[in-house]
Structure 1
């Protein structure tokens, strides 16, 4: 579990880096588009919420298990954030496939 946490930390760094680059590129444009109409926003928000919420849980899962022995109540957080991420991706996919006139 701990080795997977290190991979998640690397993924989190990539997600945050590309999120900052996406926002930087978004603010450079002169055209103002509401974020809730942009499908990329839903993909990025879902990933940021998941990775920001789960990084500490996965990095400290060994400590949590050794101190309390129960990790099931902590995994509920990971499951909830995973569901939020998937819902945001579905919304982004639906926004991306919507036909515009």
Structure 2
């Protein structure tokens, strides 16, 4: 397999991997999705917006696709936060659940403010992406803490939640420093910046493998 073909596949993994995971979602073992519908929505956001961004990139029509990545960032944060909110519902009091919703609403506005007041429409927004990665990693760590505190499932690896949360953690933790530095490297015209984003696309693979494994599980658990 030629290097050019491998490179072409690598830069399109942010489309290929979500599409494959959605295929597994379609033929999942447990038909009831429950709160896991948010994972399907997240995958659809990645597939649709990344495909749209690639079309603009390849058509050479003078349009920018940065606004699609900014939209992706905000929608992903809201969708995944709703996923974790739905998981916490049975574990925290209604008052604390309301506080969590308010906090997530405020964080969404902060991310939106970073996007809206960025002042550079044609530049990647490192602040919004790195904040999103930081917050999602925090939600994942809270999940692991809850599992350690109440280990009520004998085999955690048989549950959808474990694989979904682990996939999210691997992706966002692995891409945090990419998000944090990407705008600076782009504006400084660093020659390695395209390779860095290719690595970001490759990180879709372990995330979507974890998602696909989760969809093959028959056990669904609130936490």
With normalisation by structure 1, the TM-score equals 0.76
Structure 1 unmatched runs, 5+: none
8 Å CA contact 2:134, 2:176 repeated in 1: no
For 1:69-80, what aligned pairs fall within 5 Å after superposition? 69-80=191-202
Q: CA deviation at 1:8?
A: 1.9
Structure 1 CA distance for aligned equivalents of residues 190 and 133 of structure 2: 26
Please identify the structure whose Cα radius of gyration is greater: 2
| C-alpha contact 2:134 2:172 (8 A) present in aligned 1 | no
* 1:43 and 2:160 aligned: no
Matches within 5 A, 1:1-40: 1-3=123-125, 5-29=126-150, 31-40=152-161
CA shift at 1:13, angstroms?
Answer: 2.7
CA deviation profile, 1:8-55 (whole Å, cap 9, x unmatched): 222223222222221222122253522321211111111111111112
Unaligned runs of 5+ in 2: 1-122
Give aligned pairs, total: 96
Q: How does 1:88-99 map onto structure 2 within 5 Å?
A: 88-95=210-217, 98=218
State whether structure 2 residue 176 is matched by structure 1 residue 55: yes
In 2, Cα distance between equivalents of 1:32 and 1:7: 35
Q: In the superposition, relative to structure 1, how do residues 54 and 77 fare at CA in structure 2: closer, same or farther (>3 Å)?
A: same
Q: What is the CA–CA distance in structure 2 between the aligned matches of 1:13 and 1:74, rounded to whole Å? A: 19
Q: Which has the higher helix share?
A: 1
Which structure 1 residue ranges, 4+ long, deviate > 3 Å from structure 2? none
CA RMSD between the two structures: 2.1
The one of 170, 192, 204 aligned to 1:82:
204
User: Scaled by the length of structure 2, what TM-score is found?
Assistant: 0.38
Structure number with greater CO (CA < 8 Å, separation at least 6) is: 1
Helix, strand or coil at the partner of 2:128: helix
Secondary structure of 2:216's counterpart equals helix
